[in-house]
Structure 1
Amino acid sequence: MKVFVLGLDGATWDILEPLVKRGELPNLQRLMEKGASGTLGSVFPPLSPVAWTTVMTGKNSGKHGVFEFLEYAHNPLKGRVNSSRAIKTDLVWEIAGRHGKKSVAGGVPMSYPHRQAPGFYLGDFLSPADAPDFASDPAIFAELEKEVGTYRPWASTVHDGGNEAQVLKELTDFLDQHLKAVQFLMGRCEWDLFMFDLMATDRIQHELWHVWDQAHRLAKGRDFSALQAGCDAFWKKLDQGIGAIEQKLPADSALILMSDHGFGGIEWYVNFNVWLLERGDLALQDSLYVKQKHWFYKRGATPEWFYGLMAKFGLAGQRVSRFRGKQTGLLDRLAESAFLSRRHIDWSKTRAYSQGNFGQIFLNLKGRQPQGCVEPEDARGLLDEIKAGLLAIPHPETGEPLVDRVCERDDLYAGPHAHLAPDLTVVLRDWRYRTIGLHDFTTNKLIAPAFGPTGDHRMEGMIVASGPAFRAGATPQGAALLDIAPTVLHLLGVPVPDDMDGRVLTEILDSAFAPTDGAASGAAGAPSVTPAAVAYTEEEDAEIQQRLADLGYL
């Protein structure tokens, strides 16, 4: 049996279901009716590198070793971009390859550089520009580009509050090229497992969520009826592509459509470094230079203010890169001179700091961080103190607690690499409020209006599974990203390793394809090939960090 996994990155039933009910996505509707469909839970934090590494391995971050876009190894000033070489366990196609299976994978975050497995592999948006090893077979890649034009691994177009039509067109073209690439590779390559992630479905929701959601603050007073029709056309193009892909599959194939997370609107940023600074957990250097920055910061000279200035002058295409220390213009240099950053913290006196896309909090422990100041015996009391403070933060609109729960490392992660995880991970009750930590002092307020992307990730993704292996009308129960790799291996007839955290989704399988009590399982073990620790040169790392900043991730 061939298994085809198509990632509809970030797709959510909140958008798809109304379109299905209106009959505008006939191919998706047909696959749902003759197969299984439902919710697919993401991981926390629901970020592409963590989510897709979980898909590729069937394991939690404590076992596969990826917790964020950047890995700091508890050195807050030395983050490097994660890649496939950061993954400390086998990928699903490596396991399948040892059993004689060939795979094709493209656009899957964290799959570059390609690891040893039979098949054909394309890089993803974390690949260096013009990387000579972007494709595992340059000859096939050249054929692909003859078919679809110059291949675009990513699209960093952003809205500035007035160019939505341009963004929509570019992302629709981006989707179209990737759908054509998928269909070409299906026929050109030999494969048993095919996995491709469509990045366009994620990008359109980041940039244009306010077009679909008329309740969003940015939509008020604007007529988006024409753009809404264009957004519907985007999803219809996706549906047409899904139909074309299904037509090319052998009749006995398993087709799985899935998203690594869902989506929803964001309207507010919650910056825990502001809170930690106000509490005294973060200490600033005692120098005139830093005092000047702090003076500007307290008076509102922050990235939040500067983004508004750039948008006013039509410069929002450089949305976040201007905040990352690569300024060249006069305004940019002036802005950097005013902004506080992680570089201006006095680490010898700092007890805790926030660092990560979801405001993850780390204690500055002696013996762990380079300038740690918290004694290990004092860590428990400090964790409890910070947790209690976080849980007391009020929701500015309701007065109820803003924070739903504060997870410690052991609540989320288990495995040999769990020590790299944050000490505290904060989950908010209202996801319109987005925790941030990567920009340090993006604003001088704990809670401030969001700028840039109007949509962001949610925990509830989607799955549709069709083919003879799946029961018509079945609904997965508690399905999660962890379950994709075990289910794929089972359908391929490959033993599922014992140390995978996920399970085979037996509740959606036809009885003829369900695992038996004596179903084979594989032994756990280290990766078949131990990857080098670093995938990128310093220049490539800086380039990719800049790209992530342009996309709003750093």
Structure 2
Amino acid sequence: MKILIVSFDGLRPDLISPELTPNIERVQRSGTMLSRHRTVYPSETRVAFPSLVTGATSSKHGMVGNKYVDRKAVPQLYVDTADARLVDRLNRESNGGLMTAPTLGEILHKAGKSLAVLATNTPGTTRLFNHQAEAFGHLRLSGHFPEACSPNDLLDQAEADLGPLPPAPQGEPDTDGQVWITSAFLDFVWPKLEPDVTIISYGEPDTTSHFHGTGAAATRDIISFCDAQFGRVLDWWDAEGRAAGVQIIIASDHGHITAHSRVSVIEELKADGFNPGPAPEAGVDLVVVPGQVGALYLTDRSENNLGRVVEALTERPWCGPIFTAPRNAVEGLARGSFASSLVFADHDRAPDVYFSFRADDVVDEFGLAGITWYDNARRPGLGVHGGLHPKELAAVGIVAGAAFRDAGQDSDIPSGICDFAPTVLHLLGVPIPVSMTGRVLREVLQNAADLPAIRFEPEVFETGLNGYRQILRRICVDQTTYLEGGSAASNDIAEAAE
């Protein structure tokens, strides 16, 4: 048996349609759509894809954000995990401790099996799919960046067969990279290597959504383009892959919602007497990590100072749910905040304060539900993600092949991105490590009819401070918990909504 995981970065499940994505629809018709599939928090690429390959949340694997501050470094280090060379250096300097949970690459290598990665994401993201591929002799190919590729001799062979890696476009839809990695799989990787597990990660429509808008014509065009490239893979699967025992998993790492009003968190917190900055340096007492996920690192980490920051946030109309280190199972150390453990984001690398920007269900200009405040230099109307709006958490999950139910139906049992790795290992007969927080998706396997009924239980948590109120919704399936969404409002707004 072989496994092929195909990911479309930032694809919202509600953008899958017969007109826009006919090839994804082909798989859905022959397999099973996971209709209540969710990602992790923060809903960022370089948190979610590590969750895919570790089968665990950031509390286990340690990739706590696209960017974070390494407090253990001297001096403290601002880490942008988009940088493949930095990711590699940090892993070597920590003796392989960059990821604090075992990955598919490591697990498969120990079991005598192989993992191949082909991706058009950032170089750092590409490396994180199998960050120790060099040590295992596994193939990792970027559609653009040589520094993310390994081993060099196979890259040289691939470029000799397929042509050189195309340059990465700047802010425009990426077509050439998607063609290159698709051809690399069909004409080079599968014929020469036949990996046990292959990950093909199309870096779109994420980039185009960020620069054009989640439902914009350019974004829909690149979704259609990526679907057509996947169609080439699907044609191979129908002609050859099925007979070779290849199972298909289709995924995305998060959804997108639309930015409506910009705020500068740094400027706002200056008004409260802090001296914030985007990275650790002399005189900065509060690092505001750039990005759509609010991640604050304090120099003075006292509970009093933490409470000061959180209270300032609760008074802002743009602030959504807030998380600090756990005081108990529900509440964070700072009054009014949730415990970060509620969203499985309590790793020791995590910031002192996580927060999401306030979002709601207003329909945007493209007819898609979900808009939010944001903090970046781009114009309103563009796609963002990272927070707890249900459309940010909603991710694509489709499975097909002889190992799965041949149903063409939806599964309404909640599932998540952490479930793919344990399911893959189960199918390959490889032991599942205790570090994995996800579960085997037994309900969509061929023997699902013989299983007892699966029960799930919703959970709702509330807390707040003064006029600020926040709600977090989760759902439990056996021993696995998924995030359904989180929101915040002032009491007057909340009461009006009720």
Shared fold, TM over 0.5:
yes
- Alpha-carbon distance in structure 1 between the residues aligned to 2:116 and 2:349: 31
CA shift in 2, pair 1:96/1:341, >3 Å: closer
| 1:456 shift after superposition | 2.1
**Aligned sequence identity (%):** 20
Q: How many residues align?
A: 395
Aligned to 1:88: 100
CA shift in 2, pair 1:391/1:341, >3 Å: closer
Aligned to 1:432: 371
Which deviates the most, 505-514 or 54-63?
505-514
Is the 8 Å Cα contact of residues 258 and 382 (structure 2) preserved in structure 1?
Answer: yes
Is 1:422 matched up with 2:351? yes
Aligned to 2:168: 155
- The residue type equivalent to 1:470 in the other structure is F
1:116 to 135, 139, 158: 135
1:360 to 285, 289, 294: 294
2:70 to 69, 73, 77: 73
Is 1:260 matched up with 2:253? yes
Q: What's the TM-score once normalised by structure 2's chain length? A: 0.70
Is 1:206 matched up with 2:210? yes
SS at match of 1:28: helix
| 1:235 shift after superposition | 4.5
Aligned to 2:447: 511
Instruction: Kindly report which structure 2 residues correspond to 1:22-421, keeping only aligned pairs within 5 A, or say none.
Output: 22=19, 24-37=20-33, 38-74=35-71, 78-82=77-81, 83=87, 85=91, 86-107=98-119, 108-110=126-128, 111-112=130-131, 114-117=133-136, 119-123=138-142, 130-131=146-147, 134-136=149-151, 138-152=152-166, 155-158=168-171, 167-168=172-173, 171-184=174-187, 185-209=189-213, 212-213=215-216, 230-231=221-222, 233-247=224-238, 248-251=240-243, 252-282=245-275, 346-347=283-284, 350=285, 352-364=286-298, 372-374=299-301, 376=302, 379=303, 381-394=304-317, 402-410=318-326, 411-413=339-341, 418-421=347-350
- Alpha-carbon distance in structure 1 between the residues aligned to 2:449 and 2:195: 21
- Alpha-carbon distance in structure 2 between the residues aligned to 1:140 and 1:477: 41
Is the 8 Å Cα contact of residues 36 and 474 (structure 1) preserved in structure 2?
Answer: yes
| 1:14 shift after superposition | 2.9
CA shift in 2, pair 1:100/1:345, >3 Å: closer
Is the 8 Å Cα contact of residues 174 and 200 (structure 1) preserved in structure 2?
Answer: no
SS at match of 1:432: strand
Is 1:483 matched up with 2:414? no
Aligned to 2:84: none
Is the 8 Å Cα contact of residues 49 and 109 (structure 1) preserved in structure 2?
Answer: no
Structure with the higher fraction of residues in strand conformation? 2
| 1:503 shift after superposition | 0.9
SS at match of 1:266: strand
Between structure 1 and structure 2, the one with the greater Rg is 1
Is the 8 Å Cα contact of residues 45 and 358 (structure 1) preserved in structure 2?
Answer: no
CA shift in 2, pair 1:142/1:39, >3 Å: farther
- Alpha-carbon distance in structure 1 between the residues aligned to 2:422 and 2:220: 39
CA shift in 2, pair 1:433/1:514, >3 Å: same
Q: CA deviation digits over 1:498-535, x for unaligned, max 9?
A: 2211111122222179999xxxxxxxxxxxxxxxxxxx
- The residue type equivalent to 1:43 in the other structure is V
SS at match of 1:151: coil
CA shift in 2, pair 1:40/1:124, >3 Å: farther
2:395 to 443, 461, 471: 461
Is the 8 Å Cα contact of residues 127 and 140 (structure 2) preserved in structure 1?
Answer: no
| 1:178 shift after superposition | 1.9
Is 1:11 matched up with 2:4? no
CA shift in 2, pair 1:479/1:8, >3 Å: same
- Alpha-carbon distance in structure 2 between the residues aligned to 1:13 and 1:233: 14
CA shift in 2, pair 1:429/1:514, >3 Å: farther
Q: Which runs of 4+ in 1 moved over 6 A?
A: 414-417, 512-516
- Alpha-carbon distance in structure 2 between the residues aligned to 1:59 and 1:232: 28
CA shift in 2, pair 1:5/1:181, >3 Å: same
RMSD: 3.3
Is the 8 Å Cα contact of residues 325 and 352 (structure 2) preserved in structure 1?
Answer: yes
- Alpha-carbon distance in structure 1 between the residues aligned to 2:449 and 2:178: 33
Q: CA deviation digits over 1:58-101, x for unaligned, max 9?
A: 12223222112344223796313442622123211221222221
| 1:242 shift after superposition | 4.1
- The residue type equivalent to 1:14 in the other structure is D
- Alpha-carbon distance in structure 2 between the residues aligned to 1:40 and 1:241: 26
CA shift in 2, pair 1:503/1:42, >3 Å: same
| 1:174 shift after superposition | 2.4
| 1:451 shift after superposition | 3.0
Relative contact order higher in (CA < 8 Å, ≥ 6 apart):
1
| 1:280 shift after superposition | 0.9
- The residue type equivalent to 2:307 in the other structure is D
| 1:357 shift after superposition | 2.0
- The residue type equivalent to 2:201 in the other structure is D
